[in-house]
Amino acid sequence: MTTSRLILMYVAWLLAAGSVAVTIAVLTTELFAAVGLVDRSGAGYGYSLGVMTAVLFVALAVVPFVFRDRFVGAEPEAGDG
């Protein structure tokens, strides 16, 4: 696989990771607000949303590097594609 293709695939992965991180952070923060852990009108809501988004994004962004050995050498079999 060429370097430019790997870079483009990683950029696409980062966009997807950002979308997933924001979605999960909003849902979790809203759950926290429903339970009463954060106040929707207070600073805790924004802090919770920001911290959770950042942590989830970083965790998802490093997945290709953490599981690199699992994906290396996974060549398609003859006739698969």
44's tokens: 């805790």
Domain residue extents for the chain: 22-69
Residue 45 CB neighbour total at 10 angstroms = 17
Q: Render pLDDT for 30-62 as a digit per residue (tens, 0 to 9).
A: 999 999 999 888 888 999 999 999 999 999 999
CA angle 13, 46, 10 (to 5 degrees): 10
Residue 29 CB neighbour total at 10 angstroms = 23
- Supply the pLDDT for residue 66: 87
pTM of the entire predicted model: 0.77
* Residue 29 near residue 52, CB atoms below 8 Å: yes
Q: 């949303």: which residue's tokens?
A: 49
